[in-house]
A and B are shown apart, each in its own frame.
Chain A
Amino acid sequence: MNWVDAIAGVLLLVGAAFVLVSAIGVVRFPDVYMRMHAATKAGTLGAGLMLGAASIVFGDLGITVRSFVVFFFLLLTAPVAAHVLGRAAYYANVPRWERTGLDELAGRYDDVDDAAPGEYGRPARRGNDDIPYP
């Protein structure tokens, strides 16, 4: 057995395991924020491992650069997408899990109802300075 193929196969299997775990997490977790945690981190790692397997199998510099570009791009964009989506979910008052005790953003933003008329119910962006930061 070829060592290159062996390493690529192991990378593929580990990536498949991570991807499967992230999909199961998206279905099983009770909360948007926890689902985001599963989808973003485990999914990115699984896809990155599979791209690494592709770059090892072909053994060509162009292919390696290409797959690393995809992985780097995923690594850059996944946290940004998760952050933007989590903030939107918080603004939209998506209910948290009932056993989540901590909400450090509570009261730091104006309520959606206080938005200026014509703003389509969009919340004000400014933070509430009356509450001291911890």
Chain B
Amino acid sequence: MILFEGPWTFLSVATLVTMVAVAVSILVASLRVMRGPSLPDRVVALDLVGLLAVSVISVVAIATQKPVLLDAAIALALIAFLSTVAFARFIEWQGERAE
């Protein structure tokens, strides 16, 4: 974490706060993944977790000053979308038995 090695600046404090907030968000969304009464609930929460992973990647890219990580964000956003659509097709195929 290159950003945190120097003296504290506004950007480093903001990055740290954002990391904590996104981590809390992932935990809260995982609560819905575990608890969600139906399968679509879980898929919605998983989609949000994928979006939060993209956020984590961009924040870590800022914190470590490594912009190469944004390439991983592209791939991750693509995979999150594809998995959501695949899950939706599966739920539709499964019909009323989904739970």
Q: Which of B17, B24, B48, B96 is close to A93, meaning CB atoms less than 8 Å apart? A: B96
Q: Looking at chain A, what size class is its interface with the partner chain?
A: 35 or more
Distance from A57 Cβ to chain B, minimum over Cβ atoms (Å): 5
* A58 to B70 CA separation, bound complex (whole angstroms): 11
Q: With A and B bound together, what is the CA distance between A1 and B74 in angstroms?
A: 32
Confirm or deny: B28 has a beta carbon within 8 angstroms of a beta carbon on chain A.
yes
**How many residues of B are in contact with the other chain, CB < 8 A?**
55
Cβ B31 vs Cβ A16 within 8 A: no
Against A, the Cβ 8 Å flags (1 = close, 0 = not) of B75-99 are 0011001001101110111111110
Given contacts A15-B18, A27-B29, A50-B58, contact A66 B88 (CB under 8 A): no
CB distance from B73 to the nearest CB of A (A): 5
Q: Which residues of chain B have C-beta atoms less than 8 A from A51's C-beta?
A: 54, 58, 70, 73
List of A residues within 8 angstroms of B81 by Cβ: 73, 77, 80-81
Separation of A23 and B47 alpha carbons in the complex (Å): 11
Which interface residue of A2, A35, A112 has the most chain B CB atoms within 10 A? A35
Interface majority SS (helix, strand, loop, mixed), chain B: helix
Top 6 A-B pairs, shortest CB-CB distance: A9-B14, A23-B25, A121-B95, A16-B21, A92-B98, A89-B40
A residues lining the B interface (CB < 8 Å): 1-2, 5-6, 8-10, 12-13, 15-17, 19-20, 22-24, 26-27, 32, 35-36, 39-40, 43-44, 46-47, 50-51, 53-54, 57-58, 60, 62-63, 66-67, 69-70, 73-74, 77-78, 80-81, 84-85, 87-89, 91-95, 112-113, 115, 120-123
Can you list 18 A-B pairs, Cβ within 8 angstroms, ordered by A?
Answer: A12-B15, A16-B17, A27-B28, A35-B41, A35-B45, A39-B45, A50-B58, A53-B62, A54-B59, A54-B62, A63-B67, A66-B67, A67-B58, A73-B74, A91-B95, A94-B40, A120-B93, A121-B95
Residues of B within 8 A of A (CB): 9-11, 13-15, 17-18, 21-22, 24-26, 28-29, 31-32, 38-41, 43-45, 47-48, 51-52, 54-55, 58-59, 61-62, 67, 70-71, 73-74, 77-78, 81, 84-85, 87-89, 91-98
